[in-house]
Amino acid sequence: MHKAFEYRLYPNRGQRRLLLSCLAESRRLYNEMLESVKAHYDETGKFLARYDLTYRFKGRGGEHVPQSTVQTLADRLDKALKRFFHRRELGRKVGFPRFKSPNRWHSIQLRQYGSGRDVYLDPDTGRLRVPKKLGGRLKVKQHRPLEGTPKTAHLVYRADGHWYVLIVCDPGDAPEKRSFAREPTAVGIDVGLKVFATDSEGEMVENPRCLRRAAKGLRRAQRKLSRRKKGSQRHKKAAKAVAKKHLKVSRHRKDHAHKPARGYVDKYAVVAVEDLRVCNMVKNHHLARAISDAGWSQFVNILCLKAESAGCRVYKVPPHFTSQLCSKCGEVVEKSLSVRTHNCPSCGYVADRDHNAARNILARAEPSYRNADNGPHGTRSPLL
Ligand SMILES: [Zn+2]
């Protein structure tokens, strides 16, 4: 798994202009590529291969788009097409890759990282070296060191109006999985709406409800936007304000997911979570917004990423009935969502609803981690 490091850039006025021109121009090129893919398909019934696409657009960067970035555009389109075919094969409802409008296009990819390559964070000058067409040397604030081997980078223009560089690194060999010479320290985590997460030890992580808190301001900004005439300068300004509010929420959410995830992988050798099909839940539930807001899947993703570099194992278990079963005796104790306490009539076990679920989740993962190979190259859960 790759890890990205994001640093803020401080381009001067001239460099800013170059970056924005490249952004606009590369978007135009991408759309042109898509156009030619479609035209080629209409003619021949076949899709252009990545190689042909790269060949056709060789040297088309003009004065603003570096050559290697043109190649990455072909890669990007090729990936989008492959994803489309793959999903269609799986029988999912998918749309064909679309032409990109300015508000769906925010980044410039620089292909190879390294001294004398497309992009390089120069340790001597502390500047980010990029192609001349993008301004040469950009001022960067490297607030923490890179880890692993840097591979590639993106320059991203975010809704707050600032530029960032995202350096994608290969973390290298994962550390040895902690061996289970002694009893493994394991924890199960249940994610919920009332409380963001509850673990099998009974610890809780509060739900930030970032969106709900920001909802009022967001609604107001959205109303302002809808009142203004599309295409006008004032409409653009209002759209920017809405995007900025969304950015803030997503940052808050991400930050909130990192902290507990770090705590769990540092403390435990095994972490069990529910394998939640969030997409399905969001679709058919009036709690949809609260569910996506809580950012469950983001939390689990971050957990997996951190676990990998910490030598901790994450197991995803089937989520069925984890809140209905008694974690002590296995009896089914039916309860609706509003019942917050598990109270078992057959064995007398009483616990918080989510705590009981977390214990069930842990128990479900137990056979897998007990049977896992404990050697240095321990097998990982097939679900991961
Ligand atoms: Zn019981």
Q: What is the mean pLDDT of each run of 10 residues along the chain (384 residues)?
A: 90 96 96 94 89 90 92 93 89 87 92 93 92 95 92 94 94 65 77 84 81 76 90 91 86 86 90 75 55 74 87 87 90 86 92 93 88 46 41
Question: In angstroms, what is the span from residue 267 Cα to ligand 1's centroid?
Answer: 29
pLDDT value, residue 167:
95
Beta strands in 111-235 (DSSP E): 120-121, 127-129, 137-141, 149-157, 163-170, 186-191, 197-199, 204-205
H-assigned helices in 176-330: 210-227, 233-267, 278-283, 288-294, 296-310
To the query of whether residue 124 is one of the catalytic residues in this protein, the response is no
The CA-based angle 96-100-103, given to 5 degrees, is: 130
d(CA 73, CA 60): 11
CB neighbour list of residue 296: distance below 8 Å, 6 or more residues apart? 191, 276, 278
To the query of whether residue 173 is one of the catalytic residues in this protein, the response is no
Question: In angstroms, what is the span from residue 365 Cα to ligand 1's centroid?
Answer: 19
Question: In angstroms, what is the span from residue 301 Cα to ligand 1's centroid?
Answer: 32
Question: In angstroms, what is the span from residue 356 Cα to ligand 1's centroid?
Answer: 10
pLDDT value, residue 250:
81
Q: Which residues surround ligand 1, an ion (CB under 5 A)?
A: 326, 328-329, 331, 344, 347, 349
Question: In angstroms, what is the span from residue 360 Cα to ligand 1's centroid?
Answer: 12
d(CA 322, CA 273): 11
Which position among 78, 274, 293, 308 bears the catalytic label?
Answer: 274
Using N-to-C axis directions, what is the helix angle for 233-267 and 210-227, rounded to 10°? Answer: 170
pLDDT value, residue 292:
63
Which position among 190, 199, 293, 308 bears the catalytic label?
Answer: 190
The CA-based angle 352-358-360, given to 5 degrees, is: 105
β-pairing verdict for 127-129 and 186-191: unpaired
Are 289 and 207 within 8 A, CB to CB? no
d(CA 325, CA 229): 55
Best CA proximity match to 1, nearest among 147, 255, 174, 166: 174
Q: pTM score, two decimals?
A: 0.76
Q: How many CB atoms lie within 10 A of CB 321?
A: 11
Question: In angstroms, what is the span from residue 331 Cα to ligand 1's centroid?
Answer: 5
pLDDT value, residue 205:
87
